[in-house]
Amino acid sequence: MNIVVIGAGYVGLVTGTCFAELGNHVTCVDVNKEKIANLKKGILPIYEPGLDTLVATNLAEGRLHFVTSLKEVTSEPHIIFIAVGTPSDKDGSADMQYVLEAAKNIGAHIKHYCVVVDKSTVPVGVADQVKNMIQDGLKKRKVKTKFDMVSNPEFLREGAAIDDFMRPDRIIIGLTSKKAKSIMLELYTPIVRQPEKMYFMSVKDAEMTKYVANAMLATKISFMNEMAVLCDRLGVDVENVRLGIGSDSRIGNSFIYPGCGYGGSCFPKDVKALVKMAEMNGVDPLVLRAVEERNFHQKQVLPQKIMKKFGKDLSGIKIAVWGLSFKPGTDDMREASSIVLLDQLLARGAVVQAYDPVAMPVAKNILPKDWFKSKKLRLAEHQYDALNGADALVLVTEWKPFCYPDMAAMKKLMRQRVIFDGRNQYDPHQMKEAEFEYYGMGR
C-alpha cells in the first residue's frame, strides 16, 4: 500500500518505519525542516532501540521517504495516518491544534478515495471534527473525493515500540465503513494472524479505549505507590505484598511495582485529558484526580527521604543520581521524576552528579541552564564517575547497567555509603551485607 504518515515524532516515525519494513511504500510528513533533513540522512530525533537500523534499511530500499508537506507526496495514498502530538493545554485538556491542522491539509490535497486514520491520542468526538474539516476542505476545492474516517489508537511502549508494533497484543479499530474495515484488515494481517486480537468498534469507542487504558495503568501504579508509602510507615516490605497480590490472577503482576512516580508523554497528559473530559460532561472524576495527586506526591518521596537523612539544608552534601529518563529504554524526560528530584536537591544547596546511558543530551537541552552555570549540577561521563565523593546514590531509572553495581568500587568512590532506591531494584539484605545504608520505596 501507499501510506502517508503526518507527524514524524515518536508515534509517527515508529508507525511509518514499521509499515515500510512490512513492504509498504511510506512517506512521513513533518513541518520541521531540520528534523526531515536529518531523517533523510538517517539521523533520528528520538532514541528507540532498533529504530535507527530499520530507518536506514528502509531508506536504502526506497520504501521510506521523508517530506515537509503533503504537496511533496508523489503517490496517491491508500491510507493517511494522523500521528501528530496532542500535548496538554493550559487547562489540562488535550491540545488539538496539530490534529486539526493535519485535517485541514488533508482536505486541501487528497484527490482519490483513501482512509484517514487518527493515530494520535484524541478526546472522544475529535474524529468527527477531523472528518468535518476534511469535508470542508473538499467543498472549498469543489471536489467530491470520498474518504473514510478511522480511529486506530497506538499502544506503543517507549523502549519496546518496535516489538509492540510487530507483535501487538491487540489492535483497536473504530470505524463505520465496510470498505475501510477491509483495508484495515489487509493492512494489519501481516502482523495479526489471530482475528481475536483485532477489535472493531465505533470510532468514539476506540477514542475512549485509548484514554481508559492509560488511565487504568496509571491507576494501578498510583495505588501501589500509595501502598508503598503506607508500608514504610508500618514497617512492612512492600515487595512481599506485591508478590502476594500479584499471584491473584484478577490482579496480575503488571504495573504493581512501586516507584518514585510515573512520567513520559502518555500517562500524565492522558489522565489530565480524561479528567477534563469528565468535568466537561458533568462527571466528577474522583478516582482520576486521586491518581494525579498521588503521582504528584510520589515524586516528592525521594527528596523527603534524602532530607530526613541529611537535613533540609543540603549544603555540602553531594548526591549521585543514576537515571534521568522517565523509564529505561528511552531518552524521554517529559514529566520525569528525575526533574522533580534535581529541582528539590539543588534548591536546598546540594551538589548533584547525574548519569544516564542515553538521556544526557536531552537533559542538556531541557534542564534550566542556571543549574549548570551554578556548577551545582554536573552530568557525569560514566555511571561510576557520578559517585566520586558522593554522600549518597539515588537510583531514579532502572537501566540494566545499574542492576548489578560494583559494590567494591562504590565503597572506594563514595564519601558515605548511602543508597536511595527509587525503583526497589536492590535487595535490602544484600545492601546491608555490603555495609550500605539502604532506603527503598516501602521497604
270 contacts 214 by C-beta, under 8 angstroms: yes
Residues 6+ apart with CB under 8 A from 404: none
211 contact partners, CB below 8 Å, separation of at least 6: 121, 123, 124, 270, 273, 274, 277
Nearest residue to 405 via CA among 307, 316, 323: 323
* Sign of CA pseudo-dihedral 240, 246, 248, 251: positive
Catalytic residue among 114, 231, 260, 266: 266
3-state secondary structure the chain: CEEEEECCCHHHHHHHHHHHHCCCEEEEECCCHHHHHHHHCCCCCCCCCCHHHHHHHHHHCCCEEEECCHHHCCCCCCEEEECCCCCECCCCCECCHHHHHHHHHHHHHCCCCEEEEECCCCCCCHHHHHHHHHHHHHHHHCCCCCEEEEECCCCCCCCCHHHHHHCCCCEEEECCCHHHHHHHHHHHCCCCCCHHHEEEECHHHHHHHHHHHHHHHHHHHHHHHHHHHHHHHHCCCHHHHHHHHHCCCCCCCCCCCCCCCCCCCCHHHHHHHHHHHHHHCCCCCHHHHHHHHHHHHHCCHHHHHHHHHHCCCCCCCEEEEECCCCCCCCCCCCCCHHHHHHHHHHHCCCEEEEECCCCHHHHHHHCCHHHHHCCCEEECCCCCHHHCCCCEEEECCCCHHHCCCCHHHHHHHCCCCEEEECCCCCCHHHHHHCCCEEECCCC
The length of the chain, given as a count of residues = 443
* Catalytic residue flag (residue 266): yes
Q: Which phi and psi angles does 392 have, rounded to 5°?
A: -160, 150
What is the distance between the alpha carbons of residues 130 and 84, in angstroms, rounded to a whole number? 13
Q: Which residues form the catalytic set?
A: 266
